[in-house]
Amino acid sequence: MPENDTALDMTLTVNGRAQSWRVQPGETLLEALQHHNIKGPKLVCGTGDCSACGVIFNGAAINACCMLAAQADGVEVVTVEGLANGAKLHPIQEAFAEAGAAQCGYCTPGFIIRAYALLQENPDPTEEEVRAGFAGSICRCTGYVKPIEAALRAAALLREQRSLEERV
Ligand code: FES
Ligand code: FES
């Protein structure tokens, strides 16, 4: 997006790193992330209907295509890239890979972000609760079966990890 004299200066944290950005008044958070080379969240519909652009925004899953970048001033944003610990995948990412929950993969970052937000709130969801957590996420490839299986598998992995940590 070309800069003009109405550009805004802002600071935020993205995936644990402090950022100082200059954004345009109409620039979406998704555009700003992509502009700063954070390419995990995907532009698919651009209208808030598919959640492929999902990110965690101060702890809640939102669609970055529907948020102005300027609204993220002072906010902590986590994208799918930020869930991994260096080269080690997050258990939700592992579960998506193991369950074969990604085909074209366009929806996958959004599903992983939704699963993360859901499991933060509800570590032991039923299949129905996972389905409800994925409401608003569209996948054209998997028929939703594999992403749901992956979220349930991730929940089990995270519970197991937590109980191991509690024992040491
Ligand atoms: S690209 Fe943002 S909701 Fe579809
Ligand atoms: S894997 Fe292709 S849209 Fe979901």
Whole-model pTM: value is 0.94
> Measured in angstroms, how far is the CA atom of residue 89 from the centroid of ligand 2?
20
**Whose Cα sits closest to atom 2 in ligand 2?**
104
Nearest Cα neighbor of 102 from 122, 80, 85 is: 80
Per-residue pLDDT, averaged over 131-140, amounts to 97
9-13, 94-98, 139-143, 161-165, range with the lowest pLDDT: 161-165
Query: Does residue 140's CB lie within 6 angstroms of at least one atom of ligand 2?
Result: yes
> Measured in angstroms, how far is the CA atom of residue 131 from the centroid of ligand 1?
18
pLDDT digits (tens, 9 = 90+) for 35-83: 999 999 999 999 999 999 999 999 999 999 999 999 999 999 999 999 9
CA distances to 12, 28, 47, 66, 131 from 71, rounded to whole Å, are 10, 9, 17, 10, 29
Query: Does residue 50's CB lie within 6 angstroms of at least one atom of ligand 1?
Result: yes
Asked if 23 and 8 touch (Cβ cutoff 8 Å), the reply is yes
Residue 16 — very low, low, confident or very high, per pLDDT cuts 50/70/90? Answer: very high
